[in-house]
Every structure is written in C-alpha cells, then in structure tokens.
Amino acid sequence: MSVRRILTVLMASGVMCGAAGLAQAQNAAPATQKAAAKPAAATPQAAKPSPAKPDTKPAAAAAAAAGNAEPTLIGQFGSWGAYTATPNGKKVCFALAKPSSSKTNPPNRPRDPAYAFVSTRPAEKVTNEVSVMIGYAVKPGSESTLEVGGSSYAMYTQGDGLWIKNAAEEERMVEAMRKSPDLVVKGVSAKGTETTDTFSTKGLAQALDRLAQDCRR
C-alpha cells in the first residue's frame, strides 16, 4: 500500500462520506449528521503511553494520514499509535493500528497491508471518524462490514477505503470499539477474494482519550 494511496483515502474522507450520504439520501441521519458533517459537521482519551516507536509501515501510514506533514507520535497505547500533525496549518489527530490477524479465502492471496484509523479534524468539526484502508480494490457492489460488540455495521466503500454507511451509527460503533476486545473487518476484493481482518482494540480507548486532550489545543 502506497503512502500516496493512504493519503488520498484519509484526507479525502470528507468527500467520500459526503458521497455516501448522497447515495443514502433516504437515510436522513447520514445526510444531515455526519455524511454532510464529514466535510462540515462531525465526521481520527488516560493511560501513560509507552515510548515504543511504531514500525516503518505504520509510520508511513501516519505520515500519509497527516497530509504528508511530519506526524508526531504522542503515545503508543497497546496496538494503537496516537498521532498529531498540522498539514496546511490545520490540526489533524488520529489513532492508527494494523490487524492482529488477517485471512483470505482462497488462502494466502497477496494484498497490501490493511490499517484502521480513528481520526479527528477540528477545523472540519470532524470527531472520531472511523475509516479502514483494506489493502485492495473492493469488488463493486459487494458488502463490506465492520463487526464489533456483537453488532455488524455496513461500510461504504470507495477504491480500497471503507467508511460507515449510516453515519448516525458511528458514535455507537466507536463506543463499542472502546469496550470490545477486538473488531473484525470483512470485504471482498475486485478479484473475488474474501478477506477477514481482526484488529485488537487494546489501547484504543486510551489513545482516543489522549487525542481528545491534544485536539482541544
């Protein structure tokens, strides 16, 4: 997965989520709450961080998520790195993790690395927006899902990026992510490969708490 591709997905998420809201026009909540709110109104808290530095690939993903501005790792909380950056003078805060396990069906199909992000962009009034870089072009018309806390959330897809379809459910999904031990993302590639990525949520609540503090500044 290229840094440029990650940048495109994360920094263009407001546009994509707005498109999702238009596609879901019959659902008033996504259109008015966050889909319209991704660009305009709402959508990437107090354990002590460890000094561990993330490996090269998450660091590259973080740089891309920061609009290629130099991101600052403010804490590594379990599986999740908490980052801040100021591309073009606008603060961006986000938590980033890669899967603890990944499976493909058929087995061992090649793909780019996957990453999950929870992003906050104060200038856009975006808070705790969940997105996934799934690591391949998603099959058009296929259903991608994020499963957490006993619930399954349909995900809007664009290229290799995923966002929640019903933005009104995003806050509930994030709360479930805080409390559950893991989350599972399922998708189907353009070539028909089924994927299952499991992300540990260990440290996510602490990462989000820390970012909430830093993003107020």
Q: 3-state SS of the chain? A: CCHHHHHHHHHCHHHHHHHHHHHCCCCHHHHHHHCCCCCCCCCCCCCCCECCCCCHHHHHHHHHHCCCCCCEEEEEECCEEEEEECHHHCCEEEEEECCCEEEEECCCCCCCCCEEEEEEEHHHCEEEEEEEECCCCECCCCCEEEEECCEEEEEEEECCEEEECCHHHHHHHHHHHHHCCEEEEEEEECCCCEEEEEEECCCHHHHHHHHHHHCCC
Residue predicted with more confidence, 55 or 169: 169
pLDDT value at 27 more than 70: no
When pLDDT is cut at 50, 70 and 90, the band that residue 65 belongs to is low
Residues of the domain holding 105: 3-214
pLDDT value at 62 more than 60: no
Per the structure, the count of domains in the chain is: 1
pLDDT value, residue 130: 97
pLDDT tens track for 162-171? 999 999 999 9
CATH number at residue 178: 2.60.40.1880
Overall pTM > 0.75: no
pLDDT tens track for 85-140? 888 888 899 999 999 999 999 999 999 999 999 999 999 999 999 999 999 999 99
Give mean pLDDT, residues 64-89: 82
